[in-house]
Chains A and B, each alone.
Chain A
Amino acid sequence: MEKERLVLIGNGMAGIRTIEEILKRDPNRFQITVFGKEPHPNYNRIALSSVLQGDSSVDDIILNDYEWYEKNGIELYTGDPVVKVDKRRKKIHSKNGIVCEYDHLIFATGSNPFMLPLPGADKEGVIAFRDIKDCETMIETSKHYKKAAVIGGGLLGLEAARGLLNLNMETEVIHIFDYLMERQLDAPASDMLRRDLEEQGMRFHMNKQTEMIKGHDRVEGLKFKDGSFLEADLVVMAVGIKPNIELASDTGLKTERAIVVNDFMETSAKDIYAVGECAEHNGIAYGLVAPLYEQGKVLADHICSKETEGYHGSLMYTKLKVSGVDLFSAGQFQDEEDTRAIRVHDEFEGIYKKVVVKDNKVVGSVLYGDTSDSPRLLDMMKKGQDISNMNKAVILPSEDENSSGESPVVSMADDEQICDCNGVCKGEIVEAINNDGLSTVADITKHTNAGRSCGGCKPLVSDLLSATLGDEAVSNQKEPMCGCTDLSHDEVSEAIKEKQLSFTREVMNVLGWESEEGCSKCRPAINYYLGLNKPEEYEDDHTSRFINERVHANIQNDGTYSVVPRMYGGVTDPDQLRKIADTADKYEVPMLKVTGGQRIDMLGVNKEDLPSIWKDLGMNSGYAYAKSIRTVKTCVGEDFCRFGTQDSIGMGIQIEKKFERLNTPHKVKMAVSACPRNCAESGIKDIGIVGVEGAWEMYVGGNGGVDLRGGDLFCKVETGEELLDTMSAFLQYYREDARYLERTSHWVERVGLDHIRSVVLDDDEKRKQLIENMERALRARPKDPWTEVSENEAKQKELYEKKQLEVVQ
């Protein structure tokens, strides 16, 4: 039998969730075709905030990758919007000219951002915050401009503002009312929010109405009704959304604010449905995913001819996804004549809780600072529970002074919801953990959808995981350093500091190593941590070093070695080149090669020749073999290049001379370019410097290796001195905090850029301490190892001598 043809207009969150629900019910019934205006597969729009805040990449937020569409036999047209629907012939037409017949048609076209119709709103640099493109525009803009203005102090505006702060822009928020998020918060909570955000660096202009946007081609500032003016290089409008119903009304569907649907998501036309933000049910067009997903379930039942009670509206609640701010708001939270409220307000701890009660039932709530009671409150509201016999500690369990401090999930009933976006309750998760043997939050998300949208419930899911499996099972997931111990890197380095241990053997003894002398994994790590702890006293244990570091050259596949002398900043001269050429001739070096690090490699050298080659070269070791500072690549810069803004060569050489020979957890590569064209590839270095007019930008955590990762803009400084100080503090924090063999890219991902900034940039005391520790470490560095070895005969004998014996038969 031929399959029924199902066409979806809008490749977004509500539409694709509906398709998932349909496939769950009846995987083979429909031939499905999806049209999407955006050039992406379905992604998590909610998580754009975290992309902007630098916590995820665009790839991380894809919900259904192309493979998913293919596997389910779905025909997908991205970047191709539907432009016409022919109801009579049951056909749609796309912009690229595709014509497609349907038996069932679903509108899931979402919303458009509402753009204030101000004079100048069409200038370059005026954007909304709705899709991946907007996010990319903000990220790109932040690389070249400094001042951002966000119009709108609601949920979306504040999330955008936090992201722009993270992108190192000066961020001003313009709000027309007296209170931020006035639709979700009452005055006290709103004040607390404003104070916290001001502390994070946001600046607010309350009670201000924008009159026009000024500038030539590009925006230069905002003019307000009160006559004042604010400079801005970027304006983000976040003043609301407008359901996207143009196509629907052209098609002749009944629309009000959005496309009108009944309890089964049917529009006024036969076989045409609508879900998501573009649909209006009972006079309400919802703008949060939880209701949209509920609608999706109902529509899936209906289209698959399953009995359903239909959709009857949803309870709205809100969380703000801004790091450092915990906020929850639901239902009717303002006081009215017939309501009473329970209030907790602790200005010292920054906690505010308000539960609004009407006719003995909870009808609304605002929580600020501690939102742990939100699942309980939502559940009471949904069930309309009578609270007349309950005391405060039952309604707000976190206020119970006798409580054991255990997670609220423990006392939750099985049918209480943990993930509100996706409607997943406790019982479902526990069942999945037990039946499918799940042991990580990521697995739970994959199996149950819990945590797949706004991610706000992940801490609860994690608590539930521990409560179900026992803390032991979950915390045992830490990775031991190696097979010789159960302790992790962090625990070992912590113990070395705490117990002030001084020798490799001592560490293994005191910490109960399972093998007598360790192995090739733990010994180099312990040696590193010991040196870090006592830079001046500790004597490096070279037997614990990998051969390359022990003999200061890189071993090759045939047991010969390579020699890479330092060429500071990639600069050389005829004298150096002549010496390299002469030495290569003398020792018959099989190959000379220019490396990716802007210097010269002499490959295939015999081990016993190393000390004399070094002596003949008279150059310093380039440390091309070590977990240490490697190279500082530079571009030509202002001396020669027509685009150069800074002396990149001079700065590069200064950096390399300052930090050379410093031990680090893994190798550290740096680069200095003199303009954003980035000829020295500063974007993929552990620390990459980009000179711009009058300032230096510092990027960190870049990696050109196995997991390609672009560096993150860490800060922008004006003087070379400030740059060197910031690099010192950053590098020292990396040395102290990262695990041995953890590249900066992995470390930055693990601990978060925000955290590193808070230590290296924001905390003056810590920064000073780090710089001091770095100076100490630099002073304690060994001399150049090549010079040292070529002057030390005992070392040569111990490490480089090869004994030749002829036995006469």
Chain B
Amino acid sequence: MQSTKDEKQVMICHIDDLVEGVPKEVIVNGESIAVFKTNKGKVNALKNSCPHKEGPLSQGIVSGDHVFCPLHDWKISVETGVVEAPDEGCVKKFQTEVKNEAVYLVL
């Protein structure tokens, strides 16, 4: 991962604190972030707010690389933050890193 000078890494949890299929809500400096662990052990993080009506994505059903928003069922990629057609939009994505079983968020 390319780092820039003012990049900050924040440790948010142990890898085992994340459960496959159950996203975790983490609030960093007041900003709510949804953290996902896929069935292949990969960690992704999105802003915890659906582009439709700000539904909390951390409460959605996760299937593979997608999360379904709990309020009106929009389907959103956890890898890219892109909303699947026919709906439109994009959620802010955060870089993550796992080192020595610790999960870091790159700010």
Contact = CB atoms under 8 A, between A and B. Distances in A.
Contacts, number: 73
Interface string A532-573: 000000000011111100110001010100000000000000
B9 to A, nearest CB: 10
B62 to A, nearest CB: 7
A807 B55 contact: no
Contacts of A807: 8, 10, 28-29, 107
Nearest to A799: B22
B27 A803 contact: yes
Contacts of A805: 10, 12, 26-29
Contacts of A546: 61, 70
B8 to A, nearest CB: 7
B39 interface: yes
B24 interface: yes
A708 B68 CA distance: 30
B41 interface: no
A519 interface: yes
A804 interface: yes
Contacts of B19: 798
A627 interface: no
B83 to A, nearest CB: 14
A802 interface: yes
A804 B27 CA distance: 5
B64 A543 contact: no
B27 A802 contact: yes
Contact of B64 (A515, A545, A804): A515
Nearest to B10: A807
B61 A520 contact: yes
A557 B71 contact: yes
Contacts of B70: 546-547, 555
Contact of A557 (B8, B29, B53): B53
A798 to B, nearest CB: 5
Contact of A559 (B22, B39, B59, B107): B59
Contacts of B61: 520, 523-524, 543-547
Nearest to A560: B56
Contacts of B20: 543
A430 to B, nearest CB: 37
Interface in A81-127: none
B90 interface: no
Nearest to A544: B61
A799 B61 CA distance: 13
Contacts of A555: 56, 59, 70-71
Interface string B49-76: 0000111100111111010101101010
B107 to A, nearest CB: 7
Contacts of B25: 802-803
Nearest to B69: A520
B27 A516 contact: no
B13 interface: yes
B60 A547 contact: yes
A518 interface: yes
A178 B10 CA distance: 94
A806 B29 contact: yes
Given A543-B21, A802-B25, A516 B13 contact: no
Contacts of B28: 805, 807
Nearest to B48: A559
Nearest to A484: B63
Given A798-B22, A803-B25, A519 B63 contact: yes
Contacts of B55: 559
Contacts of B75: 519-520
The size bracket of the interface on B is: 20 to 34
Which of B17, B61, B75 has its CB near the most chain A CB atoms (within 10 A)? B61
A547 B26 contact: no
Contacts of A806: 29
Contact of A803 (B12, B53, B68): B12
Given A547-B61, A805-B26, A520 B73 contact: yes
Contacts of A803: 12-13, 24-27
A557 B55 CA distance: 7
A357 B96 CA distance: 89
Contacts of B39: 517
A550 B26 CA distance: 19
A794 to B, nearest CB: 10
A639 B70 CA distance: 45
A559 B60 CA distance: 11
B68 A520 contact: yes
Contacts of A542: 22
Nearest to B56: A559
Nearest to A542: B22
A543 B38 CA distance: 12
A523 B59 contact: no
Nearest to B35: A803
Nearest to B107: A807
A543 B22 CA distance: 6
Interface in A754-807: 797-799, 801-807
Interface in A501-522: 515-520
A61 B63 CA distance: 46
A802 B39 CA distance: 22
Contacts of B73: 520
A555 B54 CA distance: 13
Given A799-B22, A804-B27, A517 B64 contact: yes
Contact of A516 (B29, B53, B64): B64
B15 to A, nearest CB: 14
Interface string A448-468: 000000000000000000000
A805 B45 CA distance: 15
Contacts of A517: 39, 63-64
B63 A523 contact: yes
A380 to B, nearest CB: 56
B11 to A, nearest CB: 9
A598 to B, nearest CB: 27
Nearest to A518: B63
Interface string A711-740: 000000000000000000000000000000
A803 B23 CA distance: 12
Interface in A397-436: none
Nearest to A561: B59
A702 to B, nearest CB: 28
A421 B73 CA distance: 49
A544 B22 CA distance: 10
Contacts of B29: 805-807
Contacts of A797: 17
A149 B53 CA distance: 62
A550 B25 CA distance: 15
A508 B73 CA distance: 21
Nearest to A803: B26
Contacts of A545: 61
Contacts of B64: 515-517
Nearest to B20: A543
Interface in A17-52: none
A561 to B, nearest CB: 10
The 8 closest A-B pairs by CB, nearest first: A543-B21, A520-B68, A517-B64, A559-B56, A547-B59, A517-B63, A547-B70, A803-B26
Given A802-B27, A805-B27, 19 more contacts: A517-B64, A518-B63, A519-B66, A520-B60, A520-B61, A523-B63, A542-B22, A543-B22, A543-B62, A545-B61, A546-B70, A547-B59, A550-B22, A557-B71, A797-B17, A801-B24, A802-B26, A803-B24, A806-B29
Interface of A: 515-520, 523-524, 542-547, 550-551, 555, 557, 559, 797-799, 801-807
28 contacts: A518-B63, A519-B75, A520-B61, A520-B63, A520-B73, A520-B75, A543-B61, A545-B61, A546-B61, A551-B59, A555-B71, A559-B54, A559-B55, A559-B56, A559-B59, A797-B17, A798-B22, A801-B24, A803-B13, A803-B25, A803-B27, A805-B12, A805-B28, A805-B29, A806-B29, A807-B8, A807-B10, A807-B28
